[in-house]
Structure 1
Amino acid sequence: MRVLLSTIGSRGDVQPLVALALELRNLGQEVHLCVPPDFRDWIDSLAIPVTPIGPELRQTAAADPPATPAPPSPEHLRQLAQATVTAQFEAVAAAAEGCDVIVAATALQVAAHSVAELMAIPYVFAAYCPAVLPSPRHAPPSSPMTVSATADNRELWARDRARFNDMFGAVLNSHRTSVGLAPVGDVRSHILTDRPWLAADPTLAPWPEPANGGVVQTGAWILPDRRPLPPELVAFLQAGEPPVYFGLGSMRAPRGLSQAMIGSARALGRRAIVSRGWAGLSPVDDAPDCLSIGEVNHQELFEQVAAVVHHGGAGTTTAAARAGAPQVVIPQVYDQYYWAQRVDRLGNGTAHPPVEPTADSLATALGRVLRPDVAARAQVIADAVRTDGARVTAQRLMTSVLQKSFRDGLS
């Protein structure tokens, strides 16, 4: 069996697919990845065939971004939609040649289902967060386009569906009709299908529908990381009490955030580790109580810190929870608001208020989580987090495709 795994997004979107790819390969299956070009070298090093899709994403993060620009015009948005859908059809179609199934992650995978139809092969949509999937029990994931949260959830999802249709309907159907496929009337449902898979841990992010609502929850796709920590990081960890970790992954950083992070740790008498990330965060001075790091093994590092302050990506939230580290989540976009809420409700951390972080606000949030009761609760949650989601998914995918049984979640 040959499987195409495709996504558009940051490392947090790509890494779960790599975890699934390695599990499939361990089971003797062939795998091809279709991901942004930022990750080509990494995936090449794993000897997994990869096709780049879309532009590089790293340039979208900046340590000192300019003032918020004016919203793009409707015409500009239409041009962006045209460009991305066209690029997707080209890249996914090329990567899917000879494949037996396509697995697409993230809701911006507009073309993948159509390519699967054209090639007469099964298609699976996978979400990393319940909030991506429609349910009357929660609102759509927050974004700059989200409407007032005072509306009923069903109405919010109806407006979300309309936005998908307005943004992608015309260009998607133009491509579909050009290759002999019938147009679709509901773009979002076409992407997500009526039987999506949810690659999220059921303790951290349970699907809220009592009877599952058609969703197959597999558990999070966690990539085991066996890299040793850099010597300078090991030395820093051993030089004093557990520090606080700060990092925003691939997200933008508000002006002055590095200063606020380090100032908050110092206000509480804590040392700090600052992950540079795509935004290029760095310490404000050369004092020995802070250390700047690049990409490292979070699974090992998070077990040795007092708390993890982060943006609320699905992968970082799960890694911190699995390590038993109390968390402060600073959400900025999309599903990060969901993860901030969940951490707050589970009691293994807290959500930063929806304002630009300052040294005082971060110190206040850290003060709430650097308590013995929160550390104890974080350990309880850690003991409940599953680590077999990628393996379960690989086995399910093989069984469904090889038996030609699409009732098990394939459409």
Structure 2
Amino acid sequence: MAALAAQLRAMGAEPIVCGPPDPEFAELVSRAGATLAPAHTPVRQFVADALANRPPMTLPERAALVLKAQREAISAAAEGCDVVLAAGLFPSTAAARCVAEARGLPYVYATYCPIYLPSEHHRPSAYPGHPVPAEETDNRALWSRDVKTMAAVFGEAWNELRASIGLPAAQNVRDEVFTANPWLASDPTLSPWPSTQLRDVFQTGAWILPDDRPLPADLETFLTAGAPPVYVGFGSIPLEALKEAGRIAIRAARAQGRRVLLSHGWVGLALEDQGRDCFAVGEVNQQALFPRVAAVVHHGGAGTTTTAARAGAPQVIVPQIGDQPYWAGRVAALGVGAAHDGSAPTAESFMAALDIALGDDVRRRATAVAREVRTDGAAVAARKLLELFG
């Protein structure tokens, strides 16, 4: 969203990003030259509360809380705006849809991963208490069933919110929010959108904010002191199990004679010892870093996957939640890395995945695919917004 805001600003628009007020996101939006209108809570606090189920509540109850709070935050942010573009967790985008409708503003829905949009080429996601039937193989039928599932999870809170701001009830919450013409902010090489009659999708390419920040001096010293290291980091995924996954990854890389660059991330990964072959960092410019590593070990977030692919860096993905298994599968299918089978690696399973990623064939393939990854997705989206609504 910061990347899109930067492009819109360069084209003469005045973008306002209603996003979480965590310091790193505030800095990101500021670097894009945009205005940050704080969302209802910092992401770190939201994730911690959701993982701990604090306070105790069901998914529909938590969705109702987010819907109401986000509606208030987005409504304040949208004051004086001409169009609302929404991306993110479903309750937040549903709140944005209500704000746009109440204010009579055009509305665009965007997502960064194809699996969240209806298509006969993949199955819908499951929700707690609403599993996707394993025996049903017709994806069209499953996506039709998904309308009822999302109504069961979000519909009551959605219509209560609509009634509270004077909007009529709407039964199909999914398609009201997704719209008939959603935008897909992912790279066509990394995550192509196969044609489907279930949705008319506009694929823009990934929205990438250029980053020209220099790497820290001590990191530069480490990088130039030896062979390219294996990068290990799990970004903003705070699952405690990833600490053990990180330890396994470090030991496996060192056992192969590789240096290691560890990213602390939100889970707080730490080195077991301070050997000269290891170095730990906080948040850094991955666009500058990844071309200089032997491989990128990560969780499979859309941003990390795209950045590593652009850099031509082989990848090992240890997927945890959400869309991460999809990105792991795409990396493996493209031959630019390895998808670990499951979220909890053993020394043997991770070593096998790392062996694949560090192979010469994968390195050559990663270099070739890097030339195919587009960098203009945010500009494409910005131009389309201004053509439609400017």
TM-score, normalised on structure 2?
A: 0.92
Residue 378 of structure 1 is matched in structure 2 by 366
Contact 1:197-1:215 within 8 A present in 2 as well = yes
Deviation at 1:76, TM superposition (A): 2.8
Residue 76 of structure 1 is matched in structure 2 by 58
Deviation at 1:210, TM superposition (A): 5.8
Given the superposition, is the C-alpha separation of residues 44 and 378 from structure 1 closer, same or farther in structure 2, using an over 3 Å criterion? closer
Given the superposition, is the C-alpha separation of residues 291 and 199 from structure 1 closer, same or farther in structure 2, using an over 3 Å criterion? same
Residue 203 of structure 1 is matched in structure 2 by 189
Q: Distance in 1 between matches of 2:341 and 2:388?
A: 44
Read off the aligned partner of 1:31 and give its amino acid letter: P
Contact 1:20-1:394 within 8 A present in 2 as well = yes
Deviation at 1:231, TM superposition (A): 1.0
3-state SS of 2:371 partner: helix
Which of 130, 133, 143 is the matching residue for 1:157?
A: 143
Residue 10 of structure 1 is matched in structure 2 by none
Which of 13, 19, 22 is the matching residue for 2:3?
A: 19
For structure 2, the 5+ residue unaligned runs are: none
Verify: 1:122 aligned to 2:110, yes or no: no
Q: Distance in 2 between matches of 1:203 and 1:45?
A: 28
Residue 405 of structure 1 is matched in structure 2 by none
Deviation at 1:46, TM superposition (A): 4.8
Output aligned runs, 1:235-274, within 5 Å: 235-251=221-237, 252-254=239-241, 255-274=243-262
Which moves more between the two structures, 268-277 or 351-360? 351-360
Which of 197, 215, 218 is the matching residue for 2:201?
A: 215
Verify: 1:85 aligned to 2:71, yes or no: no
Given the superposition, is the C-alpha separation of residues 247 and 182 from structure 1 closer, same or farther in structure 2, using an over 3 Å criterion? same
Deviation at 1:59, TM superposition (A): 4.4
Q: Which has the higher contact order (CA 8 A, sep 6+)?
A: 1
Read off the aligned partner of 1:319 and give its amino acid letter: T
Deviation at 1:190, TM superposition (A): 1.1
Verify: 1:287 aligned to 2:275, yes or no: yes
Residue 216 of structure 2 is matched in structure 1 by 230
Residue 32 of structure 1 is matched in structure 2 by 16
Q: Distance in 2 between matches of 1:136 and 1:293?
A: 42
Residue 352 of structure 2 is matched in structure 1 by 364
Which of 10, 29, 40 is the matching residue for 1:43?
A: 29
Computed over aligned residues only, the root mean square deviation of the Cα atoms, in angstroms, reads 2.3
Read off the aligned partner of 2:116 and give its amino acid letter: V
- Aligned residue pair count: 381
Deviations 1:340-361 (A, max 9, x none): 1111111111110114112322
Which moves more between the two structures, 258-267 or 151-160? 151-160
Identity of aligned residues (%): 49
Contact 1:101-1:123 within 8 A present in 2 as well = yes
Contact 1:326-1:375 within 8 A present in 2 as well = yes
Output aligned runs, 1:106-145, within 5 Å: 106-108=88-90, 109-141=93-125
Deviation at 1:211, TM superposition (A): 7.3
Given the superposition, is the C-alpha separation of residues 60 and 97 from structure 1 closer, same or farther in structure 2, using an over 3 Å criterion? closer
For structure 1, the 5+ residue unaligned runs are: 1-16, 63-67, 403-411
3-state SS of 1:90 partner: helix
Deviations 1:103-151 (A, max 9, x none): 1012422111111111111000001011111101111246766535553
Deviation at 1:212, TM superposition (A): 9.2
Read off the aligned partner of 1:349 and give its amino acid letter: G
Deviations 1:55-87 (A, max 9, x none): 22224678xxxxx979998x6333212211100
Deviation at 1:43, TM superposition (A): 2.6
TM-score, normalised on structure 1?
A: 0.87
3-state SS of 1:86 partner: helix
Contact 2:16-2:36 within 8 A present in 1 as well = yes
